[in-house]
Amino acid sequence: MIHLFNGFQNPFGGSERETLDLYRLLGADQQVRLWATSSRVSGELTRQFPIHRVSPARRAVPDGGTYVFLGAHWRNKIWPYLIPRPRRLIYVFNTFHPKIIALTTGMPRLLGWPDAELVLISEFQKRLLQVEGVVHPSPIDIGRFTPLPARPDRPFTVGRLSRDTADKHHADDVALYETLLADGVAVRIQGGMPLKDRLAPHPQLELLPQGQFAAEEFLPTLDVFYYRTGSHVETFGRVVFEAMACGLPVVCHSRGGYADHINHGENGFLFETTQQAAQILAELKADPALRTDVGQRARQTVERLFSPQALQQRLDFYRR
C-alpha cells in the first residue's frame, strides 16, 4: 500500500494537484490512499476524491507500507507516534526552506521511522538547496491540453494563470500590462484578483479569480503565456508546462525550476528585465509564424518530459 499525504487545503494549489496526479498514475495498478494532514482540508476536494482525515481516535490511520508526504509533513504532530511504522518514508519536497528539510528528515528516536528519501522536483531546486535526492518533475496529464490553431478574429492576447496570492505577481508587471494594453494587446489573467486595485479598468483587460476556468479551458484562449512571480519562487512551475502543452510560446522570468527545460528562442523565452520581456512580447506579436514554431517545439518538449516511458521510470521509484 502507498499512502499519499497532503494538506489538501487549496483545490488550485500546485502540491495538491501534484498529489492527485500521482494518485491517478499510481492507482492505475496499485493500492493507493489519500490522507489529509491539515484540519483545513478543502470540502471541494473531499467531495471529488476519497481523501481520509488522519484520526487515531477514530482508527482512521494509514496501516504501514510506503508513506509519501507531498508539500506536507509530520513534524509537531502526535499522530505519527500512534500509527504503524512505514516500510519506506518519502518526502516530495517542493519548497526552498532548508529548515523544513532538517525538521522532516531528522527523525526523533522515539518515532522509529526509517530514514527519509527525498524527491526534488527540479534541478534548479536541488542546486539551491544542495541536498541529495532524486529529481522528478511534477507529474502532469498533458493529454488534457490540446494545441489549437490561432484565431485571427481576436486581438493578440497575453495572459497568465496562478493562484490569487500577491506573492505570485511581480510589482513591475503592472507597468508592463499597462504598456501592452496601450499598444492594443489584450491581457487576460486568471488569479489576477491581487491586481484589481492596481490596474485601471480597460476594455481589453480581464482579471479573473483563481479557478474560474480549468487550465485546459483558459490557456488556449491566449496567444502567449507570460510568467513572473514576486517573492514566491517557483521550484518547478506546473502552469508553465501546461501552457507549453497547449502549444503556447512561454515568456518567463529566468529564475524558476521551469527554466532548466526552456531553451531561449527555441521552445520558449527567458528574460531578466522588464525591458527584455517587453521586447520579446513585441516580437511575438509581430510574428505569428514565430509563435507557431516556438509553440510546436514547446509541445514536443513536454511530450518528451512526460512520455509514458519517463513517467513509468519515475513511478517505479515509489513502487519498489
Domain-wise residue ranges, the chain? 2-139, 143-305
Beta-carbon neighbour count of residue 272 at 10 Å? Answer: 10
Q: Which three cell numbers stand for residue 46?
A: 473531499
Give pLDDT tens digits for 176-223.
999 999 999 999 999 999 999 999 999 999 999 999 999 999 999 999
**81-110 burial by CB neighbour count: b if 16+ within 10 A, else e?**
eebeebebbbbbbbeeeeeebeebbeeeee
pLDDT bin (cut points 50, 70, 90) of residue 76 is low
Q: Given its phi and psi angles, is residue 237 left (phi above 0), alpha (psi -120 to 50 degrees) or beta?
A: left
The topology under which CATH files domain 143-305 is: Rossmann fold (3.40.50)
Determine the Cα–Cα distance for residues 149 and 81; give it in Å rounded to an integer.
55
Cα(57)–Cα(39) distance, rounded to whole angstroms?
15
Q: Which helix (H) or strand (E) holds 221?
A: none
Share of the chain above pLDDT 70, in %: 98
**Interstrand relation of 32-36 and 2-6 (parallel, antiparallel or unpaired):** parallel
CA 239 to the chain's CA centroid: 6
Q: What is the pTM of this model?
A: 0.88
Residue with cell 521586447: 279
Rounded mean pLDDT of 121-130? 90
